[in-house]
Amino acid sequence: MLDFKTLLELADLDPVQCLIVRHTPIEKSLRRVMPWLVVERPDLFQAYQQIQWSSLESAMTKAMYFASFVAQETGAATYAGLYRIGSFRTLDYEEYRKFPGNSELESLGMTGRQPDMGECLAFELDKLDTYADWVGRLVITWPKPYQNWWRWATKGGFAVAAIDHENRFVRGMPRWDDLILNWRELQNLPASWRATLAQWRGIYLIYDTARQAGYVGSACGQDNILGRWVEYSRTGHGGNVALRTSLPADLRFSILQRTSPDMETGDIVELEASWKARLHTREFGLNRN
């Protein structure tokens, strides 16, 4: 059976010099967006990899290559790219806080370093073209114990389980009535999801989890639901009075009802009013009209 070590050798890379890392964020919100970051925000994904916890940090000072994978299911890992490890520098806590990408990653759920954790290293990573066409498609088995999220390429078997036709990092959207997004996810939507939301019009709900109150809105203008939600992702409130006092990180976005693309604007406004009445978002929620 073909093993990833063999693929490294076929690319004239020494497995002895290579680390294989299976990114498995413990934070649920970050775990959800991680596959999207590989495709849509490679800069942010690289920033995530440049600073590691102590055990992997130490290994990276000795390795030459860094094979990156993402955990999407138990016992497997999906290829996210191969990097040459370059120089590194030491960061104190203030420098860590200022490191490009860290604040945005923390807003996506990443557990950041604390002041009492001491210094850390930030590595230069040069992405290689090796098997670039297989990013998101190449799947390897991940040996037990699964909680060991990184290994030297020579320590364990990494059998190639599949090479999919489609990119596993950008799956099709959930059904419209299963879709629930937080504010940061709105800012990192896959392009295919954005294209779909631009075609959908209808009634949506924004729920503030801290205030335990909802806001009902409608979308039938330019870019439909995407157009409205992009505005919320940009400002956090979309110009709505009550939402100005909400924290964007507390907001959840979902669709209450999709409508026909031929429905008249006036009919959509009436439908929006009906949902406000049924959900009591004027009396007990965040609607002010």
Q: What is residue 35's predicted lDDT score, i.e. its pLDDT?
A: 93
pLDDT per residue as tens digits for the range 69-85: 999 999 999 999 999 99
Range(s) of the domain holding residue 272: 176-279
116/182 same-domain check:
no
Write the CATH number for 76: 2.30.130
**Final residue in a domain of this structure, among 163, 184, 215:** 163
Please name the residue that has the structure tokens 């075609």: 199
pLDDT per residue as tens digits for the range 30-75: 888 899 999 989 999 999 999 998 899 999 999 999 999 999 999 9
> What number of residues does the chain have?
289
Q: What is residue 156's predicted lDDT score, i.e. its pLDDT?
A: 82
Q: What is residue 258's predicted lDDT score, i.e. its pLDDT?
A: 96
Helix axis angle for 28-40 and 42-50, nearest 10°, is 120
pLDDT per residue as tens digits for the range 198-255: 999 999 999 999 999 999 999 998 899 999 999 999 898 888 899 999 999 899 999 9
3-state secondary structure of 42: helix
156/45 same-domain check:
yes
143/10 same-domain check:
yes
Q: What is residue 93's predicted lDDT score, i.e. its pLDDT?
A: 94
Kindly state the DSSP code that residue 146 receives in the 8-state scheme.
T
The kind and range of the H/E element at 206 are strand 201-208
Q: What is residue 212's predicted lDDT score, i.e. its pLDDT?
A: 96
Q: Are 279 and 201 in contact (CB under 8 A)?
A: no
Q: For the chain, where are the alpha helices, taking DSSP H only?
A: 4-10, 28-40, 42-50, 54-60, 93-98, 102-107, 183-186, 191-199, 224-235, 265-279
Q: Are 66 and 80 in contact (CB under 8 A)?
A: no
Q: Is residue 288 part of a domain?
A: no
**Residue 84, strand partner residues:** 65, 126
43/180 same-domain check:
no
CA–centroid distance for 274 within its chain: 34
| Omega cis (within 30) before 145 | yes
208, 188, 195, 197: which is closest to 252 by C-alpha?
208
Q: Are 208 and 184 in contact (CB under 8 A)?
A: no
120/228 same-domain check:
no
Quote the CA–CA distance of 174 and 253 in Å, as a whole number: 14
Q: Which residues, 6+ apart, have CB-to-CB distance to 208 below 8 Å? A: 214, 215, 243, 246, 250, 251, 286
111/31 same-domain check:
yes
Q: Is residue 60 part of a domain?
A: yes
Q: What is residue 159's predicted lDDT score, i.e. its pLDDT?
A: 96
Please count the structural domains in the chain.
2
Mean pLDDT of the chain: 93
**Final residue in a domain of this structure, among 122, 141, 163:** 163
Q: Which residues, 6+ apart, have CB-to-CB distance to 214 below 8 Å? A: 205, 206, 207, 208, 279, 281, 285, 286
63/135 same-domain check:
yes
102/215 same-domain check:
no
84/134 same-domain check:
yes
pLDDT per residue as tens digits for the range 166-198: 899 987 788 999 999 999 888 888 888 999 999
As a whole number, mean pLDDT of residues 282-286 equals 95
Q: What is residue 168's predicted lDDT score, i.e. its pLDDT?
A: 93
Q: What is residue 52's predicted lDDT score, i.e. its pLDDT?
A: 94
CA atoms within 13 A on the CB side of 122: 17
Identify the residue with better confidence: 174 or 132.
132
Q: What is residue 150's predicted lDDT score, i.e. its pLDDT?
A: 96
68/112 same-domain check:
yes
| Alpha-carbon radius of gyration of the chain | 22
CB count within 10 Å of CB 278 equals 10
Q: Strand 65-70 and strand 76-91: pairing?
A: antiparallel
CB count within 10 Å of CB 288 equals 11
Q: Are 139 and 216 in contact (CB under 8 A)?
A: no
Range of weakest confidence among 107-116, 158-167, 204-213: 107-116
Q: What is residue 188's predicted lDDT score, i.e. its pLDDT?
A: 83
